[in-house]
Chain A
């Protein structure tokens, strides 16, 4: 059986893929990650994780359009699968339920 739990990095990347939509390819995701988290990351690391998420079935991918600054090379666009969005919302629900049980913060 494939590992179905989400790591923190994986979860963030999955969310970023959802946010970026049509523009979700490795370079953009890495840029967005650095922009949002202020943490440095290499494209290789992002690519490797995206690859893992593909293998787990949370993402699909296809080759997209090219642009001149890429030397005319196409990019690989990632999209979240139904399974992926379910895992994401499960993860959110679980955390919300934990937060609700947390005494100091429950319901504000």
Chain B
């Protein structure tokens, strides 16, 4: 009897995965069939035929639209001539015009919608020729523009002083070599065609910079004027020169501003006029000039120059188009009479049909179908199946994976835990979805790597906290803020490069030591409530430092609010200081993925350090104190001391982590920005398989990979599926908080292998 009862649930529990796997096999089979069909001559011929139809449709569509629009315009003109035109309502006029337009369209469709092709072979060869020329020139143009864009972004992001690079009187060759210092690729021979463009860019930027500086200086002088002079009545009635002399006497800072003499005098006379009326004019309000907005630099193609090769390709392409156009005119004679503007539209339409970035079977099929191309009904299902081969394959793989996971649910969840299994499966699904939406998985992987270096050390900071028994250290923001302080100090002293990075790390760590120590003393008094306390402490410290950032006596004009002369700005660009320094160190590209070697090395080094520590006597004692305090006490370990060690370590690593984060991000953000970091780091390490009482280095690495992977892919896919960027942020919050919630429910039970 016992065997029976054991067998029954076995079969029932296997039905679902078996059905899923069978379904997957069917889907994959269909997909293989689809791919096979794609290869047959019949399908290729069919597709070529559809292409001709699509091109013709694109051509005729333009013509029909043109005719219809013309008819509408004619009707409107006719109505306008009418005496009673004004009496008619707008709706009525529109209705009449639209009626005329629809009539004309129907008429035109009858004429042109089904053009009769006399010489199909000639048309097809003309189309093929143009398609080929188009592909070549567009491909070349794309690579050239990409190279240009990369250089552009490098230059704009990394050059802070354009005046020095391209100020007046500097020769072109010198400008180029200066630019080459920032973007060495520019000096390569294949980029020589871009030199003139970039010199122009540099000159424009220098002018812009000068204008901006002038405006700032003028603004500053106006403030000086308004604040330095108490009594304007004394200046009433003075002549221009005398007034100027007097002003300079009173406010010597104005002496440097001869350039703005007129503007300043004008402002002074306004003040005098106001003073005579008994009013005062307030100094100009402080502008938000310091609040740099963090945005990706977009390439401006104004300075782009094509290479000769590209020009040749373009000519060839134009010739091929002439050829095709001749064919089309032969089929639809009226095309020849279109205006040049309409000719251009026509060409654009046709190019859109023929030039596909992703030239796969299904992409072509879908484009042609969108242009009303059809095949004969007998072959239609074949073409459909062939075009669906890829989605079918992806769906098959997805279902197969699901089936396997359900089948091996028990061993999998025992080995990896429920959340890690689900998130890993989710991640694989996102990769499949990305493939489906033609998002480059490789590029995404590059992003994931970059973000791993960004968050890795921060997530690592969670580990000593968990090990020493304080659980998820939400108060790691204390460390983060110390690290930010280190960065701001480095900026204050105008440090650049590796010295700046090292200085920021070290000074951040030094600041975090006493803070972490005090914080651990607090946690030792609140045993059992660490999570709540650390979250509160983290939040309150962020708020406290919001005041702190305003009060601290920094005075480097690059980092303080420009006009008030005190208080740190919200966002500090690290460009020109140590942005991307680690990530670019020894970076190389493999399979088109940029590997941020330095960042990964540093993360590895930190992980190695923490791992070595966890194997030392102190580390072992700390872990024991965390997992069983009474056991540790019985072995003569001071549990409170161990908790302090863990907390301080966690805080210090967080301080280093935020420096690494900022260098990878390119910006250091103060004020409320670090508030959420604790949540992100906790959910990442929990996804990696850690619990609130146990964590290993592997959990950190797996966790940060999965978490960032899901975010990067999810973000892209969410943007592809639903327009608008809000969804990914919602998803991030849902995932990270959901994971924390799950972990907390687990920790309540206490028992978890």
A-B interaction = no
What is the interface of chain A, defined by CB distance below 8 A to chain B?
A: none
What is the interface of chain B, defined by CB distance below 8 A to chain A?
A: none
